[in-house]
């Protein structure tokens, strides 16, 4: 607080309980004071605060204090900060304002020039003297019958009991008064009125004396319910009989005691009967309450079952909701990841063509920003959209189908724009979905595929030409081989035969032994040359291949291989017709011979098998297999240099005919070679076929 504000504030000391309160106060701050006061004193202080504050003024209390439940006096504005506002009108009956003798109503003290004790002290002395001299014997007690204050000569009516000190009034009263005092207190407490008891008798030093008892309840409730019990000796004259002997006095004394005892007994009986009545009423109330509690318990059990059933339903509903929430989270995550991972730029427009949302691909391709959500699409340059976007969107909103639109941007990128209606659950069109698919790579791939198809068509045409040339070449080769074999047989063979005949005739002539030996050698060489010429002619053009066909020629070949290489070969034929071009059959025959010779020379095995059958379509499949040493097909690349017709040559020649060669082999697991060649169709022509296969 600065000096200016401090100088404008007047500080003063005031006793909250003894000084008169201020009036028309705007604010009272009472922090942590009420917590140290009893409940009755707190109510008194709150009444004083209510009197001192203006209407609608404010009261600040501490964090541990409250208005005592008097919302009618102080309306809470903030229960957290304990701020209250004055409410209602102060009731005069509830307000006990403190007073100071010697002060004016305005709060100014009256200056006195008299010398001596203060007037308040004089008044107190006077009051004490009067009470001590003239006041009757009286006791102030609370509702628990505990003594609070004694006034007057109470020793005539009260006794201090022996043992532990007690404040119980009923334990202090003299003999004969206890029952009357108890009954009077009960009646005063129940009725709230002053009760006068006459005819009570108290045992005194000289015998029983009549006593009048008055019980007056207090009206104030600041200290709780209080009772003032007043004892007075009754001045009723005692009639003494004429016979005043000692025996008569004893009889009267006994009669007095008997009367007191009867009164006590009667009072006890009445209390007992009253207690019984109260107990009966209480018992009936307890029984009724028990029945109500039983009924309430049954209702609670029923409510508990209903609540348990409702709780189970709520738990099931909660589990379903949790499952739905998890499913929704998973769906949202899937949708978000799908949109984030998609390269398709997607924009969602509302019915006013404002942007609702867009995918990240749109930000990358069209440079959209998050702040663009909610802006009309017309605010942007639509050159990137391929043109006609607004018209197409209006058509979609009208329920029309808009075909896809392909366009190219300035950076030579190609896009395909599709526009679909955004429909709600009620199948109402509430917007437009616009997708931009980058088809640049796809278009390039389509162009490349078109060129590839063109190249493939040309390649197929060239392959077909090459195959036809190969067939023609094989046919020409077979024809040349046949001609060459015919020439060898007719010309060279006949010439050698003539030479042999002449040599045989010459051998019969007389000649020296040396010439005879030389002529014999010549005849042997001539015979070898003749056989070689016949073998060459047979190799060039096996006569049974041309005369009998591929099957018998294969049987002859197997027999020759067995004779030459001691290799057991088994042949399996499916028995179906296999029409072949002569050139194809000759090439296939030589390929099988080359494979069997390779088995005999390199497989290190004594058996092999040849299976030939008509395959799917117009093809012939010949399989040559053995269980020999095997080899790695990856190293098949050149001819073996000995037979002049290696596996590479077999593959090339079969491939030129439109067939294929497949080699299956591995070291130690034998070899299986599958040859496929085309057969003649029903028109006597060789069908089109693919290029040679690979191992």
Could you read off the pLDDT of 530-565 as tens digits, one per residue? 777 766 766 666 666 666 778 888 888 888 888 888
Res. 191: pLDDT tops 70: yes
| CA distances (Å), origin 205, targets 90, 175, 305, 473 | 55, 12, 74, 170
Query: What does the pLDDT look like over 38-79, one tens digit per residue?
Result: 888 888 888 888 888 988 899 999 888 888 888 888 899 988
Examine residue 273 and state whether it is found in any structural domain, yes or no.
Answer: no
**25-39, 632-646, 653-667: range with lowest mean pLDDT:** 632-646
Q: pLDDT per residue over 234-246, tens digit each?
A: 765 545 454 556 6
Tell me which of 524, 541, 558 is where a domain ends.
Answer: 541
Q: Are 136 and 166 contained in the same domain?
A: yes
Mean pLDDT of 487-515: 74
The answer on 223 and 86 residing in a single domain is no
- Condensed to tens digits (0 to 9), the pLDDT of residues 128-184 reads 778 777 888 999 999 888 998 888 888 888 888 777 888 888 888 888 888 888 888
For the purposes of burial, counting CB atoms within 10 Å of the CB of 364, is it exposed (0-12), middle (13-18) or buried (19 or more)?
exposed
Q: Give the residue from 517, 541, 565 where a domain finishes.
A: 541
CATH of residue 380: 3.30.450.20
- The answer on pLDDT for 341 being more than 80 is no
Same domain for 56 and 78, yes or no, is yes
What is this structure's pTM? 0.33
Point out the domain boundary residue: 213, 237, 261. 237
Residue 677 domain boundaries: 549-695
- Whether pLDDT at 92 is above 60: no
Is the CB of residue 351 less than 8 Å from the CB of residue 369?
no
Has residue 445 been placed in a domain? no
Could you tell me if residue 334 is inside a domain?
no
pLDDT more than 70, % of the chain: 82
With 60 as the cut, is the pLDDT of residue 633 above it?
A: yes
* 202 domain residue, yes or no: yes
As a whole number, mean pLDDT of residues 661-689 equals: 77
Count how many domains the chain has. Answer: 5
417 in a structural domain: yes
Residues 86 and 199 in one domain: no
User: Could you report the per-residue pLDDT of 387-400, keeping only the tens digit for each?
Assistant: 778 888 888 888 88
Rounded (10°) angle between helices 647-656 and 440-487 = 110
Is there a domain that residue 170 lies in?
Answer: yes
Residue 474: CA count within 13 A, CB half-sphere: 24
Mean pLDDT score of the chain: 79
Q: What's the rounded Cα separation, in Å, for the pair 25 and 10?
A: 14
Residue 688, domain CATH: 3.30.565.10
Is 401 strand, coil or helix?
coil
User: Cα-flanking dihedrals φ and ψ of residue 136, to 5°?
Assistant: -75, 165
Report CA 299 to chain centroid distance, whole Å. Answer: 39
Q: Is residue 306 part of a domain?
A: no
- Based on the domain organization, do 74 and 181 belong to the same domain? no
Do 613 and 519 sit in the same domain of this protein? no
Judgement on whether residues 405 and 491 belong to the same structural domain of the protein = no
Residue 47 has which token pair? 């009444």
Residue 265 lies in a domain: no
C-alpha pair distances (Å), 552 with each of 537, 607, 619 = 18, 20, 19
Sheet containing 414-423: order of strands: 355-358, 345-350, 429-438, 414-423, 405-408
State how far the Cα of 629 lies from the Cα of 603, in Å rounded to an integer.
Answer: 5
pLDDT of 643 higher than 60: no
- Same structural domain for residues 198 and 56? no
Tell whether 139 and 231 lie within a shared domain: yes
Does one domain contain both 434 and 503?
Answer: no
Supply the DSSP string of 15-62, one letter for each residue: -TTTSPPPSSEEEEEE-S-GGGS-HHHHHHHHHHHHHHEEEEEEEEE-
Task: Give residue 642's pLDDT.
Answer: 42
Contact 554, 589 (CB under 8 A): yes
Residue 409 burial by Cβ neighbours in a 10 Å radius (0-12, 13-18, 19+):
middle
Burial of 156 (0-12, 13-18, 19+ CB in 10 A): middle
Alpha helices in 603-675 (DSSP H): 647-656
Task: For residues 649-677, give the mean pLDDT.
Answer: 86
Residues 85 and 189 reside in one and the same domain: no
In this structure, are 643 and 555 located in the same domain?
A: yes
- Predicted pLDDT at 103: 42
pLDDT of residue 119: 65
Token reading at 560: 């020759």
CA distance linking residue 483 with residue 465, whole number of Å = 26
């Amino acid at each position: 607080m600065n000096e200016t504000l401090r100088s404008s504030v007047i500080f003063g000391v005031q006793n909250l309980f003894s000084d008169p309160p201020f009036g028309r106060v705007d604010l009272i701050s009472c922090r942590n004071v009420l917590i140290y006061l009893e409940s009755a004193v707190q109510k008194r202080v709150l009444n004083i605060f209510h009197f001192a504050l203006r209407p609608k003024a404010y009261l600040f209390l501490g964090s541990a204090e409250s208005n005592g439940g008097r919302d009618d006096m102080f309306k809470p504005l903030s229960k957290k900060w304990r701020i209250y506002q004055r409410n209602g009108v102060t009731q005069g009956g509830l307000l006990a304002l403190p007073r100071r003798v010697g002060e004016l109503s305005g709060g100014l003290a009256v200056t006195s020039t008299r010398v001596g004790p203060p007037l308040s002290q004089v008044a107190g002395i006077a009051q004490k003297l009067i009470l001590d001299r003239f006041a009757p014997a009286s006791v102030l007690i609370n509702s628990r019958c505990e003594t609070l204050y004694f006034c007057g000569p109470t020793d005539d009516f009260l006794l201090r009991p022996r043992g532990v000190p007690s404040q119980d009034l009923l334990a202090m009263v003299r003999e004969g008064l206890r029952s009357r005092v108890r009954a009077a207190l009960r009646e005063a407490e129940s009725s709230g009125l002053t009760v006068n008891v006459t005819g009570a008798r108290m045992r005194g030093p000289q015998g029983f004396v009549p006593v009048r008892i008055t019980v007056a309840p207090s009206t104030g409730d600041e200290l709780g319910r209080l009772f003032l019990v007043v004892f007075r000796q009754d001045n009723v004259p005692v009639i003494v009989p004429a016979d005043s002997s000692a025996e008569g006095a004893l009889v009267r004394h006994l009669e007095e005691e008997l009367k007191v005892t009867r009164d006590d007994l009667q009072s006890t009986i009445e209390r007992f009967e009253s207690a019984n009545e109260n107990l009966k009423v209480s018992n009936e109330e307890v029984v009724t309450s028990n029945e109500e509690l039983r009924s309430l318990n049954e209702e609670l059990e029923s409510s508990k079952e209903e609540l348990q059933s409702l709780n189970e339903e709520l738990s099931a509903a909660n589990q379903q909701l949790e499952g739905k929430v998890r499913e929704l989270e998973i769906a949202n995550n899937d949708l978000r990841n799908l949109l984030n991972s998609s390269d398709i730029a997607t924009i969602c427009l509302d019915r006013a063509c404002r942007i609702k949302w867009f995918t990240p691909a749109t930000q990358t391709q069209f440079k959209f920003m998050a702040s663009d959500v909610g802006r009309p699409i017309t605010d942007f340059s639509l050159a990137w959209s391929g043109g006609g976007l607004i018209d197409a969107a209006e058509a979609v909103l009208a329920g029309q189908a808009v075909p896809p639109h392909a366009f190219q941007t300035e950076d030579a990128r190609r896009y395909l724009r599709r526009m679909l209606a955004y429909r709600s659950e009620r199948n109402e069109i509430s917007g437009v979905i616009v997708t931009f698919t980058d088809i640049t790579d796809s278009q390039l791939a389509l162009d490349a595929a078109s060129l590839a198809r063109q190249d493939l068509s040309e390649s197929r045409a060239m392959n077909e030409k090459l195959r036809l040339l190969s067939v023609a070449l094989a046919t020409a080769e077979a024809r040349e081989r046949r001609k060459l074999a015919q020439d060898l047989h007719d010309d060279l063979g006949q010439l050698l035969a003539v030479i042999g005949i002449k040599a045989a005739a010459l051998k019969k002539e007389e000649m020296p032994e040396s010439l005879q030996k030389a002529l014999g050698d010549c005849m042997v060489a001539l015979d070898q040359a003749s056989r070689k010429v016949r073998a060459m002619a047979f190799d060039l053009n096996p006569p049974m291949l041309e005369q009998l066909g591929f099957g018998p020629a294969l049987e002859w070949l197997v027999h020759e291989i067995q004779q030459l290489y001691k290799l057991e070969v088994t042949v399996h034929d499916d028995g179906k017709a296999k029409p072949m071009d002569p050139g194809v059959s000759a090439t296939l025959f030589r390929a099988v011979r080359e494979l069997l010779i390779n088995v005999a020379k390199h497989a290190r095995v004594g058996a092999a098998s040849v299976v030939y059958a008509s395959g799917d379509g117009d093809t012939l499949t010949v399989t040559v297999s053995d269980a020999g040493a095997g080899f790695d097909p990856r190293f098949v690349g050149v001819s073996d240099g000995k037979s002049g017709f290696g596996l590479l040559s077999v593959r090339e020649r079969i491939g030129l005919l439109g067939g294929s060669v497949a080699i299956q082999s591995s070291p130690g697991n034998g070899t299986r070679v599958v040859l496929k060649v085309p057969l003649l169709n029903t028109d006597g022509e060789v069908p089109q076929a693919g290029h040679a296969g690979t191992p």
